[in-house]
Amino acid sequence: MAEAPRRRRKAVDGLDKLPTTEQEWYGMALTYHLANAKLQDLCSYGRFSASTVPKEAFLTVRCIWPGVMAANDALPYIYRTGSFFNGEHIAHAERLINRGLLGLDKLNTLFDIICSEAKTPREWLCTVADGLGPFSLLITLHRQIMDNYLHAAPKEESKPVTYAPRKQGHYDASQPSSGPQAFPDSPTPRRPKRPRRGFSVPMDEDDLQGTNSPSSQLETELLEITDELPDEIPEPRTPTETLVVDFMVNFIGGIACLLQRLTSYTVCVANAFETTYRFGPVRKDPTPADEIQFRARIDGSIPFSSPSDRSLPEMVMFEAKRTPRGPGQGATVMGQQSMEHVAYVWKRHEKQTPISPGVYHTFMIAQDYLSFYITIGTYGKEYLDYIFGPGDVPVIPLSSRSKAFLQIQEFGPFHVDERAHMKLLLHIILCLMIWQLDGKKEGLMIKEALA
């Protein structure tokens, strides 16, 4: 009897919800037998990436997710952190939007279309997009994302094709033929399958649905690809996730393009570059141990241009999912995002010696199908001392008053088909970009024009 294919597990598989308070975290840590665990045990539950993190490893990095706040609460919350834009930036962005300056009036037409308020028939919407400037591509991307049959199979069907087909060998007529094997499927040999790990739980992935029916040859090959991909390797982005990222980048990047003509240097242009961060290696006896680490891949970002003294790799991280966030899927999505925040924190501070006291923040924009979410991570020196300290530090703090946690606050959803939500998101993104012009002549130009 053939061995069943190994399936990649979901992030925090086995957790129905993530801890919302430190007390809930303590309870979960005890429930899953972490009373005697240490930070250096992070990878003792199997090698993993952010998308396959075991629940025990998630609890080891001490992430807290308070209750989701409404989209309307995002702007004042970000302002109160004191780490991003200030009240003056908020006022300037609001005036630019209300007056339709710099070409922001084009967004009214865009919102008419994607919020289903346009009177133009769907088949002629492409003609309306001609006047949208940097936002014109969003009309086509929005339509492609909504056309589910392009990227998702019905539930009763077997696995959808989400990987590129194998390359065909190049035919060279000058070379002699030696039979049917003369032209291989791929110019590079397939690497052998990795040994399978002895996990006792089934391995699932949200992009691939299970089936007990016989599979076609192509479906079998897809299973083999999944089987060959170790859990510690972040899974490649699917074509539909690329569409979602392109929508996010074209919307945010379009806003940057309107400001770009004011300045001779690049202003916060969003990108869809997949970037992999590494957490670790964690110190053990007392040097770093290479086996105690994990990787997290983000789908894009807005790079920092200022302030230069922060040494931040990105101002905002992007994360994309091809499907809406359905009931019971929140823990998996937020579990993966937790590890991306944690890996970013490591990247930001790994070369800082000593670590300065203070409160720090991370910023992520996630898009699940046609809904946006914003997450803000908050942590301090006590948390940094934990992850960068000796590996034998207990996972459960010795003091109940410990603040060595990463708190991640989520806002949303910002629905693409709701004009009020999109205007809120526009306001937040514009505030971030105007903030980046502080101390430069372009920032002074905006202030003088709005005075």
What is the structure's pLDDT at 124? Answer: 61
pLDDT at residue 288 greater than cutoff 60: yes
What is the structure's pLDDT at 180? Answer: 41
What is the structure's pLDDT at 217? Answer: 46
Q: 50-54, 203-207, 437-441: which has the minimum mean pLDDT? A: 203-207
pLDDT at residue 156 greater than cutoff 70: no
Tens digit of each residue's pLDDT (9 = 90 or more) over 193-220: 333 333 333 333 344 333 344 334 434 4
Mean pLDDT of the chain: 79
Print burial letters for 369-389: b (CB count within 10 Å at least 16), e (below 16).
Answer: bbbbbbbbbbbbbebbebbbe
Element (H, E) at 381: helix 381-388
What is the structure's pLDDT at 123? Answer: 62
The larger pLDDT score, comparing residue 429 to residue 306, is at 429
Tens digit of each residue's pLDDT (9 = 90 or more) over 226-239: 445 677 888 888 88
Which amino acid, 361? Answer: H
Q: Give residue for tokens 């372009």.
A: 442
pLDDT at residue 41 greater than cutoff 90: yes
The larger pLDDT score, comparing residue 326 to residue 51, is at 51
What is the structure's pLDDT at 249? Answer: 93
What is the structure's pLDDT at 119? Answer: 62
What is the structure's pLDDT at 265? Answer: 64
What is the structure's pLDDT at 310? Answer: 54
pLDDT at residue 55 greater than cutoff 80: yes
The larger pLDDT score, comparing residue 74 to residue 147, is at 74
φ/ψ of 143, rounded to 5, equals -65, -40
Q: Are 412 and 56 in contact (CB under 8 A)?
A: no
What is the structure's pLDDT at 177? Answer: 43
Q: 7-11, 21-25, 50-54, 316-320: which has the minimum mean pLDDT? A: 7-11
pLDDT at residue 178 greater than cutoff 80: no
Element (H, E) at 256: helix 239-260
Tens digit of each residue's pLDDT (9 = 90 or more) over 80-138: 999 999 999 999 999 999 998 888 999 988 998 888 766 666 666 666 667 788 898 89
Model confidence at 264, in pLDDT bands (50, 70, 90)? low
pLDDT at residue 1 greater than cutoff 60: no
The end-to-end CA distance of the chain, in Å, is: 77
Q: 178 by DSSP, 3-state: which?
A: coil
Q: Are 355 and 408 in contact (CB under 8 A)?
A: no
Average pLDDT over residues 370-376: 96
Average pLDDT over residues 234-258: 88
All residues at 6 or more sequence positions from 60 whose CB lies less than 8 Å from its CB, including other chains: 34, 37, 39, 41, 42, 395
Average pLDDT over residues 356-366: 93
Average pLDDT over residues 379-405: 92
What is the structure's pLDDT at 189? Answer: 38
All residues at 6 or more sequence positions from 436 whose CB lies less than 8 Å from its CB, including other chains: 267, 268, 304, 305, 306, 315
Tens digit of each residue's pLDDT (9 = 90 or more) over 110-120: 998 888 766 66
pLDDT at residue 11 greater than cutoff 60: yes
- CA atoms of 357 and 403, how far apart (whole Å): 13
Tens digit of each residue's pLDDT (9 = 90 or more) over 302-357: 887 655 555 566 789 999 998 888 777 789 999 999 999 999 999 999 988 888 88
Q: 204-208, 271-275, 299-303, 379-383: which has the minimum mean pLDDT? A: 204-208
pTM above 0.85, yes or no: no
pLDDT at residue 376 greater than cutoff 80: yes
What is the structure's pLDDT at 130? Answer: 72
Q: 60-64, 237-241, 258-262: which has the minimum mean pLDDT? A: 258-262
